[in-house]
């Protein structure tokens, strides 16, 4: 079979395959149906970073995605940057969704924007999520990072726990206490409370905890003794008074953060929860990319060998680093969530390298990582194309057989996510 024929055969096979989506930020359908929607809905979320990078003023982007302006007025804001960003992965995912669900492949005028807005508004009714996630995508469940209230027809919950470690004022401590039912009278009671809270959520279907520190600091978490951490914790509680907007600087709280992250990771292992870390490119603009290097986490993998660690976004652009960590450590997997839309080309190169580098059970193939449900489909189309292209290349090289390529596709989209997150 030729390379192109094999690629298409793999795309067809994956299109008929039930899959697990490893990463979403989707509201429940009832929340989506209450939101005002128009054509700009498809250019929200990640599209922002490309539009801003192309020169769109941030205030204009905010007006583009907010209610208040007509579609024609919004088109005037988008039009100067539309063609500039059209070839990017974010835009491609949006347009694939636009074509599939609304029958339009490209916008060229205010009239097009008006027409697309009408079609999106007509489709914003009960059944939208089933049409997209089940019928079009064949997603059996998506790991959703929006909390325990996620609709279990579509989602399996993973919890953000970064705020549990970022307690830097009495107000932030009280907020965590209110959410989790913990007591902050001492560090030991606080951590015991977090453990009890996560145990309760695990019984309600929680499958993982996620750390989002790469947006605010580097990913090196040092082992910190209890006494040092407790001194910081006590300062947070004791020095919060009056109208002080903050108590300690962010870096001053780092020893406490490190200690809590280690403890939360240990709790995750005890409960059989996957510890998920954001690695690589951060959403938005103006970030410090070096904060997100996956190799900074190596001591965690070594210290907690019984904990399953999943590295989101394959560490992109540090895909070689992430792959090497998955090669070194039995408890580390790399997750291609978000990758296919960030850069299809880097995703293909990464997967080709990982086929050589790591065992077949070490890579998770797709997570939409979106807040807009239609765009999950567009991202999945890109993912199927990228996976098929990378695997067809490896067959053409003689590195794997056609049978191996099919096995890799099934592992990426079904077997590996189910194993990493212990899904029934």
pLDDT category of residue 247 using cuts at 50, 70 and 90: confident
CA-based nearest residue to 281, from 321, 312, 250, 320: 312
pLDDT band at 244 (very low <50, low <70, confident <90, very high): confident
Mean residue pLDDT of the chain comes to: 97
Quote the pTM value: 0.96
Q: How far is CA 235 from CA 228, 231, 238, 241, in A?
A: 11, 6, 5, 11
pLDDT score recorded for residue 243: 67
Residue 146 is predicted with a pLDDT of: 93
Check residues 171 and 270 and name the one with the higher pLDDT.
270
CATH number of the domain residue 270 falls in: 3.20.20.140
Whether 251 maps to a domain, the answer reads yes
Query: Residue for token digits 């989602």?
Result: 155
Q: Rounded CA gap, 211 and 277, in Å?
A: 5
Residue with tokens 């470690």: 165
The H-assigned helical ranges of 124-186 are 128-129, 162-165, 170-180
Any domain includes 19: no
Residues 69, 136 within the same domain: no
Q: How far apart, in whole angstroms, are the C-alpha atoms of residue 240 and residue 220?
A: 28
409 inside domain: yes
* Distance, CA of 102 to CA of 70 (rounded, Å): 19
- Which of 123, 145, 173 is at the close of a domain? 123
Q: Do the bridges between strand 332-335 and strand 363-364 make them parallel or antiparallel, or are there none, so unpaired?
A: parallel
Residue 241: is its pLDDT beyond 80?
A: no
Outline where 89-169 has alpha helix (H). 89-102, 110-123, 128-129, 162-165
Give the span between the Cα atoms of 245 and 171, in whole angstroms. 9
Residues 222, 270, single domain; the answer is yes
Do 316 and 392 sit in the same domain of this protein?
yes
Among the candidates 96, 123, 150, a domain finishes at 123
pLDDT in the model for residue 393: 98
In the listed set 123, 157, 182, which residue is the last one of a domain according to the structure?
A: 123
190 lies in which domain range? Answer: 131-420
Over residues 254-296, the pLDDT tens digits come to 999 999 999 999 999 999 999 999 999 999 999 999 999 999 9
Of 200, 215, 217, 129, which Cα lies nearest the Cα of 159?
A: 200
Backbone angles phi, psi at 372, to 5 degrees: -115, 120
Q: Is residue 33 part of a domain?
A: no
Is residue 20 in some structural domain?
no
The number of domains in the chain is 2
């Amino acid at each position: 079979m030729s390379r192109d024929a094999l690629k298409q055969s793999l795309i067809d096979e994956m299109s008929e395959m039930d899959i697990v989506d490893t990463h979403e930020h989707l509201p429940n359908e009832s929340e989506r149906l209450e939101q005002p929607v128009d054509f700009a809905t498809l250019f929200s979320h990640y599209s922002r970073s490309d539009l801003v990078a192309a020169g769109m003023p941030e205030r204009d982007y905010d007006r583009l995605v907010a209610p208040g302006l007509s579609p024609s007025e919004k088109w005037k804001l988008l039009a100067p940057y539309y063609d500039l960003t059209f070839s990017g992965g974010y835009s491609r995912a949006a347009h694939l969704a636009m074509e599939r669900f609304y029958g339009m492949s490209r916008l060229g005028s205010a009239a097009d924007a008006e027409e697309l807005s009408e079609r999106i508004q007509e489709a914003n009714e009960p059944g939208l999520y089933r049409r997209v996630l089940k019928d079009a995508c064949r997603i059996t469940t998506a790991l959703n990072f929006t909390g325990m209230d996620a609709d279990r027809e579509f989602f399996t919950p993973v919890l953000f726990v970064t705020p549990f470690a970022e307690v830097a004022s009495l107000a932030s401590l009280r907020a965590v206490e209110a959410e989790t039912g913990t007591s902050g009278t001492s560090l030991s009671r606080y951590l015991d409370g977090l453990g009890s809270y996560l145990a309760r959520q695990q019984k309600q279907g929680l499958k993982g905890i996620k750390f989002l520190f790469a947006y605010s600091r580097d990913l090196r978490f040092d082992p910190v003794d209890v006494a040092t951490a407790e001194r910081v914790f006590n300062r947070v509680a004791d020095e919060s008074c009056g109208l002080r907007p903050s108590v300690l600087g962010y870096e001053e709280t780092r020893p406490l953060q490190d200690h809590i992250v280690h403890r939360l990771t240990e709790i995750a292992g005890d409960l059989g929860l996957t510890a998920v870390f954001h690695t690589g490119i951060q959403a938005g603009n103006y970030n410090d990319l070096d904060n997100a290097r996956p190799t900074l986490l190596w001591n965690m993998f070594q210290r907690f060998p019984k904990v399953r660690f999943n590295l989101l976004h394959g560490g992109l652009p540090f895909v070689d680093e992430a792959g090497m960590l998955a090669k070194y450590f039995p408890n580390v997997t790399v997750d291609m969530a978000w990758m296919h839309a960030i850069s299809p080309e880097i995703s293909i190169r990464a997967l080709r390298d990982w086929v050589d580098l790591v065992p077949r059970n070490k890579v998770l193939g797709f997570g939409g990582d979106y807040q807009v449900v239609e765009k999950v489909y567009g991202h999945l189309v890109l993912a199927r194309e990228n996976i098929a292209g990378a695997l067809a290349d490896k067959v053409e090289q003689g590195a794997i057989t056609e049978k191996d390529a099919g096995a890799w596709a099934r592992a990426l989209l079904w077997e590996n996510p189910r194993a990493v997150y212990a899904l029934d």
